[in-house]
Chains A and B, each alone.
Chain A
Amino acid sequence: GQNIDQPTEMTATEGAIVQINCTYQTSGFNGLFWYQQHAGEAPTFLSYNVLDGLEEKGRFSSFLSRSKGYSYLLLKELQMKDSASYLCAVKDSNYQLIWGAGTKLIIKP
């Protein structure tokens, strides 16, 4: 079966750095997405990785290793507004998205 694993919940301190991991087992791979979802709101796109390596976008970076079936989202200089759920999703060989259950990130002052 196809599976995406992420930690259920993480806690970090304002101003610090946090890494949210995502491991996947899917039938084929055509890209990995990270979305951010604040409570009661729509998920919004953060990043897309299709090749191995690190993609940096301001305070957020996303890393992919296809051989290990692994990705992480790195958030630097954490702010209170970063408190949200972070969803990992993989596009499989049929170009269908398989979603993880999401990681709820709690930022403490």
Chain B
Amino acid sequence: DVKVTQSSRYLVKRTGEKVFLECVQDMDHENMFWYRQDPGLGLRLIYFSYDVKMKEKGDIPEGYSVSREKKERFSLILESASTNQTSMYLCASSSMDRAGANVLTFGAGSRLTVL
């Protein structure tokens, strides 16, 4: 019954490494999102996408990039990981909802530690 799958639950990387976080959804949703979740803070939006090959910056895009080559897949890339990117990364998707709710379905998260 898994609907949003994040490829890695736990990753440990070194400063300066390139990191790929993969997210796949099987609900044919148009919208996909990457958030980071840190203690004491609300979810912060990194990037989002409303369609294939389309991407929009969220509130904290610096140090990140994304790729959406297929509708079901949305990848988050850290070009050169830094210690302040140690966090929980959550992927989510939603459909275009006539009622305007656009309920998010989240993946289980990827906990990244950068040493």
**Chain A residues near B (Cβ < 8 Å):** 4, 8, 30-31, 33, 35, 40-45, 48, 50, 87, 89, 91, 95-102
Whether A87 pairs with B43 at a CB distance below 8 angstroms is yes
Whether A44 pairs with B106 at a CB distance below 8 angstroms is yes
Whether B101 pairs with A48 at a CB distance below 8 angstroms is yes
Q: Which residue of A lies closest to B104 (CB)?
A: A45
Q: How far is the CB of B104 from chain A (nearest CB, A)?
A: 7
Asked if B12 is at the interface (CB within 8 A of a chain A CB), the reply is: no
In whole angstroms, how far apart are the Cα atoms of A48 and B4 in the complex? Answer: 21
Whether A43 pairs with B90 at a CB distance below 8 angstroms is yes
11 A-B residue pairs with Cβ-Cβ distance under 8 Å, sorted by A, are: A35-B104, A41-B109, A42-B4, A42-B107, A42-B109, A89-B43, A96-B45, A98-B42, A100-B42, A101-B41, A101-B42
Whether A42 pairs with B90 at a CB distance below 8 angstroms is yes
Contacts of A44 in B (CB 8 A): 106
Whether B43 pairs with A99 at a CB distance below 8 angstroms is yes
Whether A31 pairs with B90 at a CB distance below 8 angstroms is no
A99-B42, A100-B42, A102-B42 known; A45-B107 Cβ under 8 A: no
Contacts of B78 in A (CB 8 A): none
- Interface size grouping (class) on chain B: 10 to 19
Main secondary structure of the interface of B (DSSP, over half): loop
Q: How far is the CB of B105 from chain A (nearest CB, A)?
A: 8
Asked if B103 is at the interface (CB within 8 A of a chain A CB), the reply is: yes
Contacts of A30 in B (CB 8 A): 100
Interface mask (B71-115 → A, CB under 8 Å = 1, otherwise 0):
000000000000000000010000000001111111111000000
Contacts of A41 in B (CB 8 A): 108-109
Interface mask (B10-31 → A, CB under 8 Å = 1, otherwise 0):
0000000000000000000000
For the complex with contacts A33-B103, A87-B43, A101-B41, 8 further pairs of A-B residues with Cβ separation under 8 Å are A40-B109, A42-B109, A45-B104, A89-B42, A99-B42, A99-B43, A99-B44, A102-B42
Whether A42 pairs with B108 at a CB distance below 8 angstroms is yes
In whole angstroms, how far apart are the Cα atoms of A31 and B24 in the complex? Answer: 27
In whole angstroms, how far apart are the Cα atoms of A89 and B103 in the complex? Answer: 11
